[in-house]
């Protein structure tokens, strides 16, 4: 069974204090790994897609990396507006041939000024 595990469950940082969030996965035939940001009371917002080990993508203070077993979301010099829950999801083929997403439970990030 495909599994996605995110750690830590919650992370508290001071403004400017860089850190990383982890997403470990076990899936057969990975087609893509996705990172989403979710603010309280809102739907998830797409951030990145990673397709193969070694791939990296950046957006402002965020950088996502991928290995064969895990992905990291690095946050450099975070600001309070980066506070949100970050979700990781993997896409793999189902027996029907269609691909759906399996989500982790998320990491709740709080950045204090």
Partner 1 sequence: NAGVTQTPKFRVLKTGQSMTLLCAQDMNHEYMYWYRQDPGMGLRLIHYSVGEGTTAKGEVPDGYNVSRLKKQNFLLGLESAAPSQTSVYFCASSYRVFLERTYEQYFGPGTRLTVT
Residues 6+ apart with CB under 8 A from 61: 75, 76, 77, 78, 79, 82
Burial 72-91 (b: 16+ CB within 10 A, else e): bbebeebeeebbbbbbbbbb
The verdict on 105 binding partner 1 (CB under 8 A) reads yes
Q: Which of 18, 26, 99, 112 binds partner 1 (CB under 8 A)?
A: 99
Q: Which of 106, 107, 109, 111 binds partner 1 (CB under 8 A)?
A: 106
Q: What mask of x and - would describe binding to partner 1 in positions 54 to 93, judged by CB under 8 A?
A: ---------------------------------x-x-x--
Q: Which of 14, 28, 41, 60 binds partner 1 (CB under 8 A)?
A: 41
Determine if the peptide bond prior to 8 is cis (ω within 30°).
yes
CB of 103 to partner 1, least distance (A): 4
Backbone conformation region of residue 82, classed left if phi is above 0, alpha if psi is from -120 to 50, else beta: alpha
The verdict on 51 binding partner 1 (CB under 8 A) reads yes
Residues that bind partner 1 (CB under 8 A): 31-32, 34, 36, 41-46, 49, 51, 87, 89, 91, 96, 98-101, 103-106
């Amino acid at each position: 069974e495909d599994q996605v595990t995110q750690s830590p469950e919650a992370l508290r940082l001071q403004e400017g204090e860089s850190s990383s969030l982890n997403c470990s996965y076990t899936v057969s035939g990975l087609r893509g790994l996705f990172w989403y940001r979710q603010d309280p009371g809102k739907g998830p917002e797409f951030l990145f897609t990673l397709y193969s080990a070694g791939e990296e993508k950046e957006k402002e203070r965020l950088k996502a990396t991928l290995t064969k077993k895990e992905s990291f979301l690095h946050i450099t010099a975070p600001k309070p507006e980066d506070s949100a829950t970050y979700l990781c999801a993997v896409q793999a083929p189902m027996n029907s041939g269609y691909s759906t997403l399996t989500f982790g439970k998320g990491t709740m990030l709080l950045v204090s000024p």
